[in-house]
Structure 1
Amino acid sequence: MLRKARTSDMRIIQEMLNHYASQGKLLPRSLSELYTHLRDTFVWVDEETGQIVGCCSLHIVWEDLAEVRSLAVREDQQKRGIGRLLVEACLQEAEQLEISRVLVLTYEIAFFEHMGFSQVDKNIFPQKIWADCLRCPKFPKCDETALLLELKPRRDPANSYAH
């Protein structure tokens, strides 16, 4: 079951993210950072156990750019489409927010290419570099691959100011 994260989920999410961070697959996230970006985060809850088995966030970088980040699915739950559903939820939210480009920095290149992302030079995102990358322990020797998906945001006629 897909839903937005709650404050009570943050310690579980941090544990999952830091598990992969210890393997060098993700960046570690502090509880403070997770709480600050709570509204960015989706979780997947196993309906039988009620446990969170996956998470993913959509972080707004700039007017026309968002980033999918902190995608993690528990190892015993992988290969079931949960990661894809979490990313799709982020992409749908990006469309609703009328964001036209979604970036991901990742080691899982094939997964994101399968979802329609294309490899790009990460240096074309100065907003991302100045906002986040400067604080990253891997900066300036980032070994992740940047991929981009161009979206066609849906314009909601109910929100237009046409006369």
Structure 2
Amino acid sequence: MPIIIQPAEASHVLPITELVNLFAAENLMLPRTEESVRQTLADWLVAVDPDAQPDDPPILACGALVPLTETLVELRSLAVHPSQQGKGLGGHMVNHLVQMARERGYHQICALTLREQFFVRLGFEPVDRWSISPKVWQACIYCPKFHRCDEVAVIMNLVENPQAAVHPLARPAGWNTLLKWSEWQPLRLAYKQKQAQVQ
């Protein structure tokens, strides 16, 4: 079956929302609304079967980029339809999203995941999740697992020597540097930024 990975289109908004929320219902990722997908549609990729029949899933996989800083982007909402799992499609989606991040000029791409080894095999490295920009926690504070989060943060450098806006936290030898905000106070900053958005 030929599968094409392409930028999401307006007709994909509902299928993306349904696929993401299928896994969100199992607390495997954060839910999305149609409006939130529509507003960020340019940041989404989808996998489709050009020969799909009317009864086939409209999309087979999806994933998005979420900017955190000018040089750091998060890979989020990676979902593969149950009928396509175990076939390597998730890895192809990640590779396309990484390439998309490179083309947009980002220095690093990160993700929060329950499948650490999946991302490690694709070239990511584990990092301290508390060192990620507070912007990532604006969504996390609505997660039912926020206070007992079991996700692991992973990161990949997209350029040889990523330039940090501020000095990163000290890391053991061999760890990647991770762009971070100074005076890191995740909960206070995340709530403060959320409140500013609704005012």
Amino acid at match of 1:46: D
The C-alpha deviation readout for 1:18-42, integer Å capped at 9, x for no partner, is 1111112111111121111111100
The one of 2, 15, 21 equivalent to 2:24 is 21
Aligned partners of 1:66 and 1:102 also within 8 Å:
yes
CA distance in 2, matches of 1:151, 1:5: 23
Q: Which residue of 1 aligns with 2:170?
A: none
The one of 12, 16, 36 equivalent to 2:15 is 12
Aligned partners of 2:68 and 2:136 also within 8 Å:
no
Amino acid at match of 2:92: L
Per mean C-alpha deviation after superposition, the further-off stretch among 77-86 and 14-23 is 77-86
What's the secondary structure of 2:146's corresponding residue?
Answer: coil
Structure 2, gaps ≥5 residues long: 161-199
The C-alpha deviation readout for 1:72-102, integer Å capped at 9, x for no partner, is 1111111222111111111111111221111
Q: How far is the alpha carbon of 1:131 from its aligned partner?
A: 3.9
Structure 1, gaps ≥5 residues long: 154-163
Aligned partners of 1:43 and 1:55 also within 8 Å:
yes
Aligned partners of 2:78 and 2:90 also within 8 Å:
yes
Amino acid at match of 1:22: A
Q: What are the equivalent positions in structure 2 for 1:130-145 lying under 5 Å apart?
A: 131-145=138-152
Q: What are the equivalent positions in structure 2 for 1:10-159 lying under 5 Å apart?
A: 10-49=13-52, 51-129=58-136, 131-152=138-159
TM-score by length of 2: 0.71
- How many residues are treated as equivalent by the alignment? 153
Of all paired residues, the percent bearing the same amino acid is 34
Which protein is richer in strand relative to its size?
Answer: 1
TM-score by length of 1: 0.86
CA distance in 2, matches of 1:119, 1:12: 31
Aligned partners of 1:62 and 1:127 also within 8 Å:
no
Change (3 A) 1:58 1:129: closer
CA distance in 2, matches of 1:140, 1:128: 17
Matched, 1:3 2:10: no
The structure with the largest alpha-carbon Rg is 2
Aligned partners of 1:102 and 1:150 also within 8 Å:
yes
Amino acid at match of 1:63: E
Amino acid at match of 2:31: P
CA distance in 2, matches of 1:54, 1:85: 10
What's the secondary structure of 1:62's corresponding residue?
Answer: coil
CA distance in 2, matches of 1:36, 1:136: 21
